[in-house]
Structure 1
């Protein structure tokens, strides 16, 4: 049943030779890897309005120069990550750049931040999509968390089916969203140029505003910069591109930056001219669309594609998170399981972990996008700063042809990214403080995992292993719970290993049971030694462990190994296991960590 359900949801397994078929062309890559960045125009401009609205609606004109500053940062990031793509075509983005140029720990800070950021990408994108749905249908507001969780599950399943299949499905909504925004921005700008927008809806540019400060403007700038999250995803996912991967990735990055710049600036201009303000229950894009078109078919087309692309923007995280996890796992900083490909050739462990952690975040924050976005943005601007600083070090060290221009580009990007990061910490500390606790804990976890892998490698390496003890014989300990076919089956196996040194061990809880069992055993197997370990405390593990210790100590004197054979019967139906005590499993789990004791399970399969 489970296998059938898995095949129905995920599809049949693919051969490893089909890996090349799972690569993306530029059109599909633009949809699947840019959806996060492109969809952020649905909430990035609104974040600026939230900050400026704390002064007055008249302060909204500052969104225009602030947006110009965001576009400067976007340009610097696009040019910088284009350089990263060609310098590090193997992928890895900020993690690889920071590790190679700034050192291991800066690299881990970048990598850890991005892992968390991609989890937040899914949570923020799906929560924002749920916001767009509830804006159009307010009656669904109380079910927002459930809606978000269901969409995460669906996207997780879709990604488990493979990169190409998910890209084919998700390409259409992304391009429909771009078309919807072009229609919205084009119509809105036409109305503005034709004088159809009342001037009283907005304060004139340059209007003096009491209470405005540089600190507040920087805060609005950092909030608006949340629209740039996802820009780095393409540099992390270069291995997903068809050959020539680096060239195709660079072209896709430039195309994404161009579209993002147009849509971001267009939404900011429309929000200013139409006097849009922040409303908790209705998004800014929804307000703009309603003012321009009313609640007609075009409005619902815009809201529908916006909701869909915001939800599918989570797919950027599903594309980049597993590949980043592979790089970290190869460097032994996270579990090796992240390097394993699933039935459909995707890194399914990374996909599943990402989905589960995203659902946890959505549940904890109640799907509140405004609470998630600061953490989301800080998680990406730390790697922005580190990666561009790393590229500065690379150009200074290598000094290739034209390095000064590249160095300037990275310096500008690094400075602006650093300023945005600091402003986030200063202005939204109450929302982003968990980063200061979580990142050090994540680095400690990376360190402990790496230390474990290094210790394992050192001990497994033949040249450094301790010389093995010469084994002269084998002492078999066979725990028994009765006289059954299960015990007989295990005894036959024990005799094949060491017919002369088998010790059956029985642990009774009552003296009467002890005497009765000894009599039965003499008739059943008179040639096999039986040891009974009476215990009034109803514990099998403690007396059995003490006995094994005694035998192991004596066996070591004569270079003998101790093997504990655990009989276990297997029910015909898997669910029937819950009807039986799993004492064999507990015993095996307890003994597996014992030094110089070999544990063997001998199964006896029931037929009915």
Structure 2
């Protein structure tokens, strides 16, 4: 079962109505009162009990085992379950294959936030940043070696500048954590403090970064494998695509970065790097720390400012993923912000030590990047030969790089869902899939990363020029936003915080500009064009949603009313029911679909509403005009939203029965299906007609911007007899 934003055109949570809309709503209610039977007549006509119960609050849930998925009991009496634990599960070869690959759909499930202690959060959230030492130093040297010995002489000074950048940006993100204790990613910080356009630019940089994180990490991981097993080198592209497909399948199954399973590779990599650095320094000490003699490739460039700038921006990619901890502050155990800052300090410290150690070893060993073997592999061979130590280093490197690629599968769909919430991306990216993951965002990330990986033949060196642009564009805007934040707030220690953020932002801007200029022809133009296209697409999507919202506003001269019946405006819906006893229709015997005459069919219209707009009023008018019992159903995501919708309904006149169910799990379609199943179980002989508003756009290309709730409801409810799904179109 899929869960998504509310049915119809509304956003993830129904928006509050303004004063003008409230006045129109009251006027619409008065007009309805002239043509409708009294509200109590419609309530008495209901053939079911509309009180379906409540979902348990998140605080009462406990995760099962080591996972983060927990079962949530269905509303009302439990339905009969089949052998795999799902209710009314469809069968068929396609469904069985899907379940083998992705697992059984988690009906009646919720995601519970897993609180992490620092020792667990460090490897889980730092995998991307720490693993970058596997390719950052090599990317820097790949540029400097073009100038031969003269170029390599600048390796230590350039590395020193990168280390200073790491320190400054780490300090600046400590201030971000203090200012945004509930999580402060670049998109949120830039939007809050600089405006929507800078926020979109930051989001574009972030999403480019996440796509390239997958491509670069996979490329580096495959390079670690082919360095140890050169015979696999011709299969680099198929191996990389296969790894992306494995990540896709794992994340569609709901795999999360939590637990010792995901912590082990990062700790193993840290241990491998410290062992490598320790053995390498001990070996160098034996020869008085004199660099080894080495044969360098032919000189192709002269040392100049442009070469050093390119080397600096390439090596700075070792900082990717440094903002992950500031995004995930709520995932820490209390005190969240303090634990997050401590973990960030540990991460930056480890990153600086490992980066510095690897660069020093490369300088002492005089190894240079090669097409057939990575510098890390060369260092490991010099220290450990081809024994178990070498295998351990290569295996740990490949594992942590694959894990680093997986971090993007958490962050990319999250940023995309934030954009969809704000109307800058299709609302389909708000939807949770069968396994409670943002399936559409995961699919988009996998497709984009695979295309980039294949286009650049899986070569890390070819991908690096694209990488720095997006990373440091997001860093720059985030830190600039923090400068504005402290300038406006001016609380205790604001000057110190502003200084740290200003320094980090300035240095990040220097790297961004350097990468954009020095690597423009090497591939950086691709990232810059991608950011520009992102801005165009997102602003056009936002413009469409704003036009749709304006078209859906209630207007005094466009009041949707039920049609008059032949008996007059006061005709009772009870006239249509075969028998009413005690306010409820007598239950028909059996639950088969054996009615052969119109009068044998008992009806209940269930109108699913997200908000009270023009499309909703048209849908209610259609349902009431059928002169059959009607139950309006609203799924609220919060208690506050439920109270607000109830107030609006009362202001409208409470003309039809309303049931509000609060779903605290950020899901709507799944609770809606539960409600309909609960009504069906109360009265199996009843024909339930679920009526939904449907947006129909003038351009076919715009249709995918609106939800397909009806089709998903049909698939979910197909196993149950006597349920009809229909839509009332609203043309934009």
Same fold (TM over 0.5): yes
1:421 aligned to which of 512, 516, 526:
512
**1:385 lines up with 2:476 in the alignment:** yes
Which residue of structure 1 aligns with residue 425 of structure 2? 334
Tell me, which stretches of 5 or more residues in structure 2 are unaligned?
Answer: 1-92, 296-300, 567-593, 602-624, 626-694, 700-709, 720-732
Q: Aligned-pair RMSD on alpha carbons? A: 3.6
Which residue of structure 1 aligns with residue 674 of structure 2? none
Which residue of structure 2 aligns with residue 183 of structure 1? 275
TM superposition shift of 1:171: 1.6
Residues 166-215 of structure 1 show CA distances to partners (whole Å, capped at 9, x for unaligned) of 65422211111111111000111112223266545379xxxxxx943333
Find the aligned partners of 1:119 and 1:305 in 2 and give their Cα distance.
23
Residues 379-414 of structure 1 show CA distances to partners (whole Å, capped at 9, x for unaligned) of 110011111111111112221111111111112111
Which residue of structure 2 aligns with residue 263 of structure 1? 354
Answer yes or no: is the 8 Å Cα contact 2:473–2:509 preserved in 1: yes
**1:66 lines up with 2:188 in the alignment:** no
Answer yes or no: is the 8 Å Cα contact 2:469–2:528 preserved in 1: no
Answer yes or no: is the 8 Å Cα contact 1:239–1:245 preserved in 2: yes
2:329 aligned to which of 238, 248, 255:
238
Find the aligned partners of 2:556 and 2:162 in 1 and give their Cα distance.
56
Which residue of structure 1 aligns with residue 196 of structure 2? 104
Which residue of structure 2 aligns with residue 446 of structure 1? 538
Residues 16-52 of structure 1 show CA distances to partners (whole Å, capped at 9, x for unaligned) of 7753354444333322321111111011001111111
**1:93 lines up with 2:195 in the alignment:** no
Runs of 4+ with >6 A deviation? 591-595, 600-605
1:279 aligned to which of 355, 370, 390:
370
**1:124 lines up with 2:209 in the alignment:** no
Which residue of structure 1 aligns with residue 48 of structure 2? none
Per the alignment, in what secondary structure is the counterpart of residue 370 of structure 2?
coil
Which residue of structure 2 aligns with residue 345 of structure 1? 436
**For 1:590-605, what aligned pairs fall within 5 Å after superposition?**
none
Residues 421-468 of structure 1 show CA distances to partners (whole Å, capped at 9, x for unaligned) of 111122111111123322222111111211222222333343578223
**1:134 lines up with 2:226 in the alignment:** yes
**156-165 vs 281-290, greater mean Cα deviation:** 156-165
Answer yes or no: is the 8 Å Cα contact 2:182–2:330 preserved in 1: yes
**For 1:184-583, what aligned pairs fall within 5 Å after superposition?**
184-195=276-287, 199-201=291-293, 211-430=302-521, 431-462=523-554, 466-468=558-560, 471=563
TM superposition shift of 1:100: 1.2
Find the aligned partners of 2:552 and 2:352 in 1 and give their Cα distance.
53
Answer yes or no: is the 8 Å Cα contact 1:94–1:387 preserved in 2: yes
Residue 245 and residue 275 in structure 1: after superposition, are their counterparts in 2 closer, same or farther (change >3 A)?
A: same
Find the aligned partners of 1:465 and 1:452 in 2 and give their Cα distance.
23
Find the aligned partners of 1:232 and 1:25 in 2 and give their Cα distance.
18
TM superposition shift of 1:241: 3.9
Residue 410 and residue 301 in structure 1: after superposition, are their counterparts in 2 closer, same or farther (change >3 A)?
A: same
Find the aligned partners of 1:186 and 1:465 in 2 and give their Cα distance.
79
Find the aligned partners of 2:133 and 2:175 in 1 and give their Cα distance.
25
Which residue of structure 1 aligns with residue 146 of structure 2? 54
Answer yes or no: is the 8 Å Cα contact 1:23–1:163 preserved in 2: no
Residue 33 and residue 199 in structure 1: after superposition, are their counterparts in 2 closer, same or farther (change >3 A)?
A: closer
Find the aligned partners of 2:340 and 2:357 in 1 and give their Cα distance.
26
1:162 aligned to which of 231, 254, 258:
254
Find the aligned partners of 1:371 and 1:442 in 2 and give their Cα distance.
22
Answer yes or no: is the 8 Å Cα contact 2:208–2:470 preserved in 1: yes
Answer yes or no: is the 8 Å Cα contact 1:127–1:311 preserved in 2: no
Which residue of structure 2 aligns with residue 174 of structure 1? 266
Number of residue pairs matched? Answer: 493
Per the alignment, in what secondary structure is the counterpart of residue 425 of structure 2?
coil
Residue 465 and residue 21 in structure 1: after superposition, are their counterparts in 2 closer, same or farther (change >3 A)?
A: farther
Higher relative contact order (CA 8 A, sep 6+): 2
Higher helix share: 1
Answer yes or no: is the 8 Å Cα contact 1:57–1:277 preserved in 2: no
**109-118 vs 168-177, greater mean Cα deviation:** 168-177
Find the aligned partners of 1:385 and 1:352 in 2 and give their Cα distance.
28
Find the aligned partners of 1:359 and 1:222 in 2 and give their Cα distance.
24
Residue 151 and residue 465 in structure 1: after superposition, are their counterparts in 2 closer, same or farther (change >3 A)?
A: farther
Per the alignment, in what secondary structure is the counterpart of residue 313 of structure 1?
helix
Residues 478-537 of structure 1 show CA distances to partners (whole Å, capped at 9, x for unaligned) of xxxxxxxxxxx9x998xx9xxxxxxxxxxxxxxxxxxxxxxxxxxxxxxxxxxxxxxxxx
TM superposition shift of 1:243: 4.5
**363-372 vs 106-115, greater mean Cα deviation:** 363-372
Tell me, which stretches of 5 or more residues in structure 1 are unaligned?
Answer: 204-209, 475-488, 497-558, 560-590
TM superposition shift of 1:105: 0.3
Residue 251 and residue 143 in structure 1: after superposition, are their counterparts in 2 closer, same or farther (change >3 A)?
A: same
Residues 316-355 of structure 1 show CA distances to partners (whole Å, capped at 9, x for unaligned) of 2112112222222221111223223334433333223222
Residues 232-281 of structure 1 show CA distances to partners (whole Å, capped at 9, x for unaligned) of 22223334444544333322222211111111111000000000112111
TM superposition shift of 1:164: 4.3
> What TM-score do you get using the length of structure 1 for normalisation?
0.74
Residue 254 and residue 160 in structure 1: after superposition, are their counterparts in 2 closer, same or farther (change >3 A)?
A: farther
Residue 43 and residue 492 in structure 1: after superposition, are their counterparts in 2 closer, same or farther (change >3 A)?
A: farther
Which residue of structure 2 aligns with residue 527 of structure 1? none
Residue 344 and residue 194 in structure 1: after superposition, are their counterparts in 2 closer, same or farther (change >3 A)?
A: same
Residue 473 and residue 345 in structure 1: after superposition, are their counterparts in 2 closer, same or farther (change >3 A)?
A: same
1:34 aligned to which of 103, 126, 129:
126
Answer yes or no: is the 8 Å Cα contact 1:34–1:316 preserved in 2: no
Per the alignment, in what secondary structure is the counterpart of residue 346 of structure 1?
coil
Residue 253 and residue 270 in structure 1: after superposition, are their counterparts in 2 closer, same or farther (change >3 A)?
A: same
Find the aligned partners of 2:444 and 2:597 in 1 and give their Cα distance.
44
Answer yes or no: is the 8 Å Cα contact 2:205–2:473 preserved in 1: yes
TM superposition shift of 1:2: 3.8
Answer yes or no: is the 8 Å Cα contact 1:126–1:151 preserved in 2: yes
Find the aligned partners of 2:128 and 2:556 in 1 and give their Cα distance.
49
